Structure formats: C-alpha cells, structure tokens
Amino acid sequence: MEKPELVYVTYIRTTPENLWAAITKPEFARKYWAGNENVSDWKKGSKWQHVDGDDRSEVMVVGEVLESTPPKRLVLTWVDPDNAADVSRVTFEIEPMKDVVCLTVKHGDFKPGSTMTAKVSGGWPRVLSSMKSFLETGQPLNVFPGCS
C-alpha cells in the first residue's frame, strides 16, 4: 500500500521572511493557529513543539528539525506525543514570485494505519487559510471555532 502525501499550495502577498517568521515565531503562529505556538530554535537536529500558547505544558505535536534553510525550506518530523510511533514528515517550501510568495506544504511519510493522516488533512487547509489572511490583512480567520 502506498503511503499518502498531502500537498497544499497557496499564494500569499507577503515576503519570504515574513512567511518564515509566521511559521517559526511563536508570537506570530498563535495569531492564526487558534492560540497555539511553534517553539524551537529551528536549527537542524533541534527539537520542536506545537504547544498551547497560554499553557506551554499542553503539547499537541513534537518533532525534530530535519532541514532548516531560512527563509526557503523547513522540514520537520511530526509526532503526537501520546503516540510516538505515529511519526510523519512535514516540508514547508517557500518560493518568491514577484509580489507574492508560493508556499507548498507537504505532509507525508505516514505510517500504515496512522491516525495523524485524518487529523492533519482537515487541519492544514484551515491553518494555511488563516495564515494567509493574517499575513495579507492582519486578521486571521476563525477557522477553529471555540478556540482562542
């Protein structure tokens, strides 16, 4: 059975540097990601965490930074801390194109029977739509009702 790979492409009126900051800076991520933050030093081999911005002890996703080439490419492992065997891989590719930036997010290398596939297939479109809106207008979308 072939492993699925989820691919999302969006065009955002911003700079590669601002998009990189939106992904990697906790204070930016919490604005469009329902109050959650991405925390790391973003160096190859470093650990990273996706945490509740109000209570950093609530960790939703963990992983390792596999590649980090600011502001062009970031590759991470993606793991539910309650199920360390269900590891997958996320790649962010940032490409400038005149007055916009093309962001490609690939989430793949799912393990057979992964429960993460269903979780992220609904989450990525929401997060990326909210991030695009935030970067272009300063206002995120309310794509996670009931969350911050």
Do 65 and 50 form a contact (C-beta atoms < 8 A)? no
Give me the pLDDT at residue 11, please.
Answer: 98
Sheet hosting strand 6-12, strand order edge to edge: 6-12, 100-108, 83-97, 73-80, 59-69, 47-52, 36-39
Q: What is the pLDDT of residue 22?
A: 98
> Which pLDDT score is estimated for 147?
56
Alpha carbon distance 111, 88 (integer Å): 7
Residue 133 makes CB contacts below 8 A (sequence gap 6+) with 32, 139, 140, 141
Query: The domain 6-137: what is its CATH number?
Result: 3.30.530.20
Residue 13, classed as helix, strand or coil, is coil
The segments of the chain whose pLDDT lies below 50 read: 1, 148
